[in-house]
Every structure is written in structure tokens, then in C-alpha cells.
A = this chain, B = another copy of it.
Amino acid sequence: MSHGGDIYRNKVNMDYSVNLNPLGQPEDVLNEVKASLKLASHYPDINQEDIRNKLAEMEGLDSSFVYAGNGASELILAVVRALSPKKALIYEPAFSGYEFALNALNLADHEKKTTKSIEMIRYLLSEENGFKLSEEAIDAVQENVDFLCIADPMNPIGQNIDENVLISILEKTKKIRTYVLLDESFLFMSEKADSVNDQYGIKKGIIGRAELIKNYDNLIIIRSLTKLLAVPGIRVGYVLSDPDNIRKIKRQLPEWNLSVTSEAAIRAGVSLIREGTFVGKTLDVIRTEREFLSRSLREMGIKVFDSDTSFLLFESDVDLYNKLLERGVLIRDCSGFVGLRRGLYRIAVKSHEENEEFVRILNEIEGNK
């Protein structure tokens, strides 16, 4: 399975295949990262003391509930290893990283020749229903499923999970001892960022999940700052879970997994988020531009799926991937996602200037068909 962002083997002027904050990199973050290079002559703190404290304080948790990683991809692998499930359920379509991690564990088992592989079950969400994760889908979580992967918002769909459905899942899985990996990589840039804040009465810009973590010791949340801070080249993610789970996850990570630049990006990111206006401004521009793109695409007769975040799934009968690439625009062809078919594409929500240019190019292509 390929990923977005492959600018290394394509000639790309506009990358609509990765979903980063349309506001771009905050200057403070880049400055702090630059300044951190003077620390490159020291090993990073093997205990992540300062970083864990800062993240924990932001989340309203004790630092024993938090661990930082060299990007979300490192943490997904470590979580899967730490919990070593026997039967995993993935709601598809989903980010391929969960399957990558489960396969890695299977390959290690295969090498040993002594272990049964992880059984992987896929629950295909229906296109007619807009790929919504509904109460019905929860029935698929049977007694013997010990690991469940979900994302909020889902990727590549872009919809937030209904909070009541999420709570139903957590209640059921807590009872039958199923671990839930909740991938919130894009949560900071989704509509739920506002509503969750309202729910927990937390200042706009900080997304409270402390209550969930404290109530459900079977829940593992993965967060990313990569998207919000627009720094995918500097790897920054973190995991929130019960201290017992965190201890297990830490044992599956390299002893020094964070570089000083990752540490600095987290430090700067936390300051920026706590300052209060940055996430709000980000949500505003994403909402405005998502609506602009949806409307423009729909005006061309394109079917656009509902999204609550910084990317959009849509349908076209034109070979858009190649036709756009010819014009230097990289988008995500979604036919490789399990449960999605040819003709579905994902685009990022970018700045208004870029989005206008994108719409112009797309109009040209769709008009010529």
C-alpha cells in the first residue's frame, strides 16, 4: 500500500496528498527546533521527563499516563507489540499503518515458527451509509476480539466518530477486555476539537481526553503534532493510556526514540496549544476552506463525502490521479484502501490561494471529459 506525500518519485508543485495545517509551520516552533540543535551533542533524556510532564499537564493527566514517540507510526508499532493481540478488528477503510503493524508482529511470529499468527478481521463500513461508524458496527466486537483499531476522525473519510458511539464501544470493550487503539492523529484539526472542549469545559484549543483515559484502562490514544504543526519531517507523536499500558509500550520502543529536534517541536507545540488561539484559528481556516472546496467540487457535479477535518473524500469518473499529476498536483488515489473502490480520491484542505488554483485546474480537467 502506498502513502500520500511521495514527492520523491513524482514531480510535484502542489501536494494535496498529505493533510497538514493550512496555516503552515508556526514560526515559534521552527525557531525552537533550530535552537535545539545546540543540544545535539547530548543524548536526549532517556526518561523524557520534561516532555512527558509538559504533555501530561496539557492533557490534565499525571505524566505516567503519557509517552512521546518519533511520530505516530513508531507508536502504532509499539502499541501493537506491547499488547500482542490474538484477534484484531479493523473498521475499513482505515489508515494502512494498523495493518502494517499487525503484519510486522505476524512476521516476527512466523520467523519463530512456534506461534499462531494474529487473526485480522475487517469490518467494511458501507459506502451507501457514507462510511459512518454506527452502533451496528459495534456488534462486530465479539468476545474473542482482543484488539480494535479506530481513528477519530477516520482517514481517508474525514468524519469524526459520533461521541455516543465511541462511548458505547468503550463500554462494551471494557467489559469484554478488548484493547482499543484510538488514533487521534487528526483530532486537533477536526470539528470535535471544539465540541470535546465544550463537553469537558476546557479552554478552546486544548482537547480534553483525560476523562476517557481515566475511565477506560483498555483505551490507548495516539496523538500526532505533525499535522497541526505542519512538521512531518520532524517526527512527533505521543500516546495516552493507563500507566500499566504505558510501561508496556515503553519497553517496545528504542531507548532513545526522540531526537532533540522532536523534543523541541513537542515543547513548542505544547506552548502554542496552551496559549489558546492557535487551534481555534486552525479550525476556522479548515472549516472555511473545506466548505469552499466541497462547494466548488459539488458545483462540478462531483460527489463529495461529508468531512469534519482537513481532508475530503470524493468521487470522480476521470483518471484524476494521473491527470492532476501531469499538471504537478499530487492527490491521493484511494483505490488502494481496503473497502474503497476505484474512482475515490482524497485531497487535503490547504490555503485559500492554493485551493483556488486547485479548483481552477480541476475545473479544466473535469470540463474536458
Contact = CB atoms under 8 A, between A and B. Distances in A.
Nearest to A264: B233
A103 B34 CA distance: 36
Determine chain A's interface SS by DSSP, over half rule: loop
B235 A49 contact: no
A114 interface: yes
A246 B84 CA distance: 23
A182 interface: no
Contacts of A111: 82-84, 248
B233 A43 contact: yes
Contacts of A42: 5, 7, 15, 232-233
How many copies of the chain does the oligomer comprise? 2
A100 B255 contact: yes
Contacts of A34: 34, 37
A259 interface: yes
A282 to B, nearest CB: 15
Contact of A74 (B4, B100, B254): B254
A221 interface: no
Contacts of A256: 71, 73, 232, 235
Contacts of A47: 8-9
A112 B109 CA distance: 11
A270 interface: no
A43 B70 contact: no
Contact of A115 (B37, B112, B234): B112
A249 B235 CA distance: 20
A5 B43 contact: yes
Contacts of A76: 254
Interface string A66-88: 00001101101100011110100
Interface in A51-110: 70-71, 73-74, 76-77, 81-84, 86, 97, 100, 103-105, 107-109
6 closest A-B pairs by CB? A233-B260, A84-B111, A40-B233, A5-B43, A73-B254, A74-B254
17 contacts: A5-B46, A30-B40, A33-B37, A36-B233, A37-B234, A37-B261, A40-B231, A43-B233, A70-B254, A70-B257, A74-B257, A86-B114, A100-B255, A103-B251, A104-B251, A233-B260, A233-B261
Interface of A: 3-9, 15, 18, 20, 24-25, 30, 33-34, 36-37, 39-47, 49-50, 70-71, 73-74, 76-77, 81-84, 86, 97, 100, 103-105, 107-109, 111-112, 114-116, 230-235, 248, 251-252, 254-257, 259-262
Given A34-B34, A71-B254, A77-B252, 8 more contacts: A7-B42, A39-B233, A44-B233, A73-B257, A86-B112, A107-B251, A114-B116, A261-B261
